[in-house]
Each structure stands twice: as structure tokens, then as C-alpha cells.
Structure 1
Amino acid sequence: MKFLLITLIAEKDPHRPARERLREVVDNAVLAEELGFDGFGVGERHERPFFSSSPPVVLSHIAAVTSRIRLFTAVTTLSLLDPVRAFEDYSTLDNLSDGRLELIIGKGNGAAQAQLFHVTADDQWDRNREGYELFRRLWREPRVTWEGRFRPSLTDAETWPRPLQQPIRVWHGSATSRESVDLAAKFGDPLFSANVTNPIEPYAELIRYYRERWAHYGHRPSDALVGAGSAGFYAAPTSQEAIETYRPIYDERIALFRKVGVEPVFPTLEDAIERSSILVGSPQQIVDKVLRYHESFGHEVMHEHADAGGLTGKQHRATLELFQSEIAPVLRRSVPSRPFPALLSAPVLALVPASDPAPVPASDPAPVPASDPAPVPASLPASGEIS
């Protein structure tokens, strides 16, 4: 199994400068790489209280201060974006990160952001599907002729820069409906289940539907790839310590739900631990719960929240260290997962006199495959953002 940390960059304090919150995200990504997590994801939201309106910018900064960790979008809301502009942003990021980019796409959610971009409930799925179909072609083809409903047509259009990964793996975020699930299966792409708001059953049903549609479209069943999220995480040496520390954080979350008129699905922490995907307890309890969910999902990748979320900085680091030392090794052994794509590092250029016509590579670049070795995504997000 592989493990991601994901953030939507929410900010509860309206007086805190955005600069501080964004720098905190970058620091958490550096910590994730230091501790051995496989990926770090940034969501996309275009409304209060989120500072995640520009994931490619944030991930480009993270790419500059890390070297190994995979960089995820969670999700890229193609229903809101011009696919050409999205391609340009993410192709640039793919090059800057040496091919570490992993896209998770989805329609997104939130009434405010839909209003901002003039997207409606009637057309959001069509926009998401059309946007992905064009984005996918732009990534794979140097010239594209295309016509659709929601943006101007293209005639023999070139897009630059060309991406480093060819092609890139694209996950489809799924929360409540079958549209994203069917789109993923149709194109032979992996699925990432939000697995956050509700009990396990509706998410397990969508994953079963994904596998059914995968076979319907003629793909080999063993090639299907699934990831799943979690609703929160805190591990401590004993369950008593974990619950005592996390209870005020959870109670504050419940109070916030009720303040905005939302009745929580899991009104108590004990209920959430029993029926939701929240991971709070001792290392062994968390291992047992993840393996129990794996029986229903068959997932190879799991996400946790990247933010401290009410924990002190010391508590946050300590629980992530405990995860990597006592939980992750057991799950990695118990649940085999396919590897991520190899890092496509660019060749190092030798310094030459200014009068020389062109720099000469100091060494041959690593070979870049012309296409994926198989339709199997290389390996394997996140909160209610995935849809």
C-alpha cells in the first residue's frame, strides 16, 4: 500500500495572512517527503475558507523544495477550467517536477465556485467529461483538431510546453455519483474514492460499479486501480491517549457543522471511529481498520490529511512519525501495490563557454518510454473535494 498526505488549504482564522498558511502547506510537503510518504496532494477550491484556488502554483513551489515525493492534485476541477489552459499549467508543472505529477480530476463541489465560473448542476458533468476528453488528447497529441460545447474549437492546434510524462496517469475522484466512476472505467483510468462523509457502504458500492464498468469496457480486471481517502487521522501509543487528544478536535468539527445547519452523520467521536473512515487509535487499531476497509475496496493507495487540524506542531509530527514507523510498514507488507512511474530526471547540462553554439549534456539522459508499459496506472486521495 502507498500513502499520501492531502490538503485543501482551509483556513479557519480570517485574520491569518494567506502567506503563512501557504508556507505551512509547503513545510508539510517537505515533512511528508522527509518521513517517507509516497505523495502529497493539493485540492482545488474557489471559495471561502480555502486558499487552494491555484494548485499548479502551490505544487510548483513544492516541486522546487522536494525531490522524490509524487505531487497530486486532489482534485483538478476540469468542469470549471479551460482544458487548454489546464494542460499548459500542468504540462509545465510536469516538466518542473521531473515527471512527478499525478492528476486527480473531478467536477468539484461547492455552490459558490460553480456560480463564480457559471457552471450549473445541469451541465457540470458534461463539462467535466468534455474537458477531460480534450485534456487527454492535448497531453498525448502534438496537434489537435477538436470541437465541443463549452469552449472554442481547435484546428490543428499546438500546445506548449510538451509534457515530460507521456502519457500521464489521471485518477478520477469519486464521492457520490456514477458519472466519474464510469468515465474512469471507460478510459482505463484509476479511481480515487473520497470515503469521507458517509459510512463505508455507498463508497464500496461505487467501487464495485467501477470494477463492473471496467470489465464492460473490455479492460483486464486485474488492471483496475483504486485509492481511498480517510476522514481524519491521529495515532498514539494507546487508544485512550489517541481519543483523549483527538476528542476536542472532533467536537469542534461537529459544532461547526451544526453552526452552519448541517447535521453530522457521526455525532460522536466513538461513532466516527466505529462507522466512518476516520483513523484514530493505537497503531494496531488503525492497521486493523485499514485492512477491514481494504476487504471492501481493494485499494492500493490511501490518503491522510496533511494539516495539523487542531493538533500542535509537535503532536502533528509525532503522529506522522508513528504512522511511518509502526503502521505503514505493516500495511505495505499486507497490501501489495504497483510502483509509481520512474522519476524522469532531466539531463544535467555541462557548463560551456558563452561562445560555444550550444551546451552539451554531461551525460546521456535517462530513456523516456514512448508510452505507458501497460494500461495499468503506476501506483497509487481526500476530503469532500473529490467528486
Structure 2
Amino acid sequence: MKFLAITLIVHRPDPITGVQKPTHDRFREVLDNALLAEELGFDGFGVGERHERPFISSSPTVVLSHVAALTKRIRLFTAVTTLSLLDPVRAYEDYATLDHLSNGRLDLIIGKGNGAAQRDLFQVTPEDQWDRNAESYEVFRKIWRQDKVTADTRFRPPLTDAEVWPRPYQRPVRVWHGSATSKESVDLAARYGDPLFSANVTHPIEPYAELIRHYRERWAHYGHDPAQIAVGAGTAGIHVAPTSQQGLAAYRPIFESNLAFFKRAGLPVVFETLEDFVERSSALIGSPQQVIDKVHRYHEQFGHTVLHLHADASGLTESQHRASLELFQSEVAPVLRREIPDPPFVWGPVLPAPPLTQESVHV
């Protein structure tokens, strides 16, 4: 199993102290968390893309380029690239450049995105966002694979023998499809034989498990090899502590503050108590063995081989957050790596095989 640390770069007051960091300091925190993730042995670091309050993750390519310059090994993920809002040509240019600068460490997770404010900002309607997402991905995918592209598009000017530069480093980049609540993203992933990444953060397990089952059905419908399926899944929070009692005690004020925030904002509340949140959500809160058991319980439903954790402290102190991630990597991750397989592809740059030489043909 592989592990990612992911941030959506939420920018609101700390749920415990009530203090909101300056924007500059919040970005610095993201970079520090990326360095920590690499130091502790995470396999990937992801940055979301949102274009509305309270997020400041509107430019993931810029943030990930800086992370690429500071790190050497860790793979870089988008979480998610909102192709329904973007011109696929411009998106390709940005991500192909980032891929070169990072020496092929880029993986994309794409999706239509959520939020009415960002739809309004880009003049995208709920009725056309799925069509926009599919069209943008199809154009993006062609550009990454073809030197000249012709596309009769609805949502941007058509392309005729268009050349887009720079040409890619990875051939092609791996694209995951982010899925939260809808079958459209799941079907798009299955159609192209791409991996799926379940959000898995808001609800109990059942609706996410249902979508993943649908993905597997559509994968078979499109004639792909079942052995090549790869599924990733998110988590709703993390605090690994030496004992379950310590984990609950540290996380309780965070949960209660977040619950109060949801109620004030008129947002739907799915879990009314911390105990219910720990039991029925995807949050990993408790002792190392509790976390191991919970990941296995989800794996039985999902069959996932990649797991993302929160890169941000999210109300924990910096020392608590670091200790939690250290405990995860020392006592949880090694067990899960042994007991749950990796995705069915090399965790590295997607590069074409070198051409056969006469010498290699005769060997």
C-alpha cells in the first residue's frame, strides 16, 4: 500500500486557538508539511484546487512546482485538478512544465470540482459541468499523447492540427479520477482504463463502496483487465496516539469546534458525536492497532491500494501532528505495506520503453 499526505490549503481560524495565520505563513506551512512528508517516508504529497473561500489552493501548479524544487523523491499529486473549470490546453501547458521540472514525479487526480462560488466564478453551470469535465479530459489526454491535435470542442475554440508545447516528459502522465458522489466520474475513469480515487471523507462507507463497485463493473464492461484496477481512498482526519484514550482526548476539542462551525454555517452534520465519527467515518483516530484494523475494514469494501492522510495539523499542535505522523509511519504503515498490495504499476515516472537495439534483439 502507498500513502499520500494531502492538503486543500484551507485558510480559516484554527479550530482550537481561533487564530488565523497570515496567507504567507499558511503557504509556508504547506511547504513545511511537504518536507515533513518526504522526511517521514510518505509516497506522495498532494495539493487540491479550489477557487472559493476558505481555500487558497487556486494555483496548485505553482505550489507543487515549489514543492518539487524543495524535495527529491516524493511524488506530486493534484487533489483534484478541476478540469470542468479549466481550458485543457492551458492546463496541459502548466502540468507538462511542472512534470519536466519535477523529473516526472507528477500524478494528476482530476475531477469536476465542488462549490457553487467557483462555478459562478468561471461561469460553469451544474447542468454542463460534467460535459465540460469529460471534454476537457479528452482534449487534455490527446494533447499529452499526440504531437498534433484536432478536436471539435463545445466549450473552447476547436483545435485543428494544433501543436502544444512543451512536449511531455512522462509519456503519458498517470491520471486518477476523483470521485465523491457521482457515477459520471467513475464511468469516465473506467472508460479510459484509468485509476479511481474515492474522496471518502464526508459520509460513512456505504455510498463510496457502492461507487467503487460500479467502477469495477464499468471497468469490466469496457473490456479492461481486472488485475490492472487501482483504487485510492481518502480519510476524514488523522490522529494516531499511543492509546485510544489519548487519541480521543486530543481530538475531541477539534471535533467539537468543527461541529459547531458546521452548524453555524448551516452545513449538513453527518456525525453528531466524536465516538460516532471515529466509528463510522473514515477518520483514523486512536491507537496504531485501531488504525490498522480500520484501514483493513475499508480495504475489504474498497480493495484500495493507495490511502491519503491529512497533511495539515487541522487543530492539533505542531508537535502532536508530527508525533501522530511519525507513529503512523513507524507502527501503522509498515504493517499495511506488508498486508495490502501496491497498485499494479511502477510508482515512478511513466516513461516509454527504450527502443530495441540490434544487440538486444540477438541476446
Aligned-residue offset at 1:221: 1.1
8 Å Cα contact 1:235/1:282 also seen in 2: yes
352, 356, 360: which one pairs with 1:369? 352
Q: Which residue of 2 aligns with 1:239?
A: 244
1:183 aligns with 2:188: yes
Q: Which residue of 1 aligns with 2:197?
A: 192
Distance 1:16 1:208 in 2: 41
Distance 1:295 1:254 in 2: 29
Distance 2:229 2:207 in 1: 19
- The AA in structure 1 aligned to 2:292 is V
342, 364, 371: which one pairs with 2:348? 342
- The AA in structure 2 aligned to 1:232 is G
The superposition leaves residues 303-344 of structure 1 with CA deviations (integer Å, 9 ceiling, x where unpaired) of 011100011111111100000000000000000113544358
Q: Which residue of 1 aligns with 2:323?
A: 318
Distance 2:274 2:339 in 1: 28
Aligned-residue offset at 1:155: 1.2
1:85 aligns with 2:90: yes
- The AA in structure 2 aligned to 1:337 is D
Determine helix, strand or coil for the equivalent of 1:71: strand
8 Å Cα contact 1:140/1:167 also seen in 2: yes
Aligned-residue offset at 1:105: 0.2
Runs of 5+ unmatched residues, structure 1 = 345-367, 372-387
- Spell out the pairing of 1:1-387 with structure 2 (5 A cutoff): 1-13=1-13, 16-338=21-343, 339-343=345-349, 368-370=351-353
8 Å Cα contact 2:48/2:79 also seen in 1: yes
Percent of residue pairs identical: 70
Distance 1:289 1:89 in 2: 38
The superposition leaves residues 121-165 of structure 1 with CA deviations (integer Å, 9 ceiling, x where unpaired) of 000000000000000000011111111100001111111111110
- Summarize the Cα distance change of 1:294–1:79 in structure 2 as closer, same or farther, 3 Å threshold: same
Determine helix, strand or coil for the equivalent of 1:327: helix
Aligned-residue offset at 1:234: 0.2
Q: How many residues align structurally?
A: 348
Distance 1:58 1:241 in 2: 34
8 Å Cα contact 2:46/2:77 also seen in 1: yes
Determine helix, strand or coil for the equivalent of 1:152: coil
- Summarize the Cα distance change of 1:343–1:129 in structure 2 as closer, same or farther, 3 Å threshold: closer
Q: Which has the higher contact order (CA 8 A, sep 6+)?
A: 1
Aligned-residue offset at 1:17: 2.2
Q: Which residue of 1 aligns with 2:361?
A: none
Distance 2:69 2:90 in 1: 22
8 Å Cα contact 1:33/1:66 also seen in 2: yes
The superposition leaves residues 186-212 of structure 1 with CA deviations (integer Å, 9 ceiling, x where unpaired) of 000000000111110000000000000
Determine helix, strand or coil for the equivalent of 2:4: strand
Determine helix, strand or coil for the equivalent of 1:211: helix
TM norm structure 2: 0.94
- Summarize the Cα distance change of 1:296–1:54 in structure 2 as closer, same or farther, 3 Å threshold: same
8 Å Cα contact 1:166/1:370 also seen in 2: no
Distance 2:226 2:176 in 1: 17
8 Å Cα contact 1:8/1:50 also seen in 2: yes
- Summarize the Cα distance change of 1:343–1:214 in structure 2 as closer, same or farther, 3 Å threshold: closer
Distance 2:198 2:133 in 1: 17
- The AA in structure 2 aligned to 1:369 is P
Aligned-residue offset at 1:18: 1.3
8 Å Cα contact 2:195/2:231 also seen in 1: yes
Q: Which residue of 1 aligns with 2:360?
A: none
8 Å Cα contact 2:83/2:112 also seen in 1: yes
Distance 2:340 2:21 in 1: 41
Distance 2:24 2:158 in 1: 38
TM norm structure 1: 0.88
The superposition leaves residues 36-71 of structure 1 with CA deviations (integer Å, 9 ceiling, x where unpaired) of 000000000001111100000000000000010000
- The AA in structure 2 aligned to 1:241 is Q
8 Å Cα contact 1:9/1:42 also seen in 2: yes
Determine helix, strand or coil for the equivalent of 1:164: coil
- What is the alpha-carbon root mean square deviation over aligned residues? 1.2
- The AA in structure 2 aligned to 1:276 is S
Distance 1:121 1:342 in 2: 36
The superposition leaves residues 77-100 of structure 1 with CA deviations (integer Å, 9 ceiling, x where unpaired) of 000000000000000000000000
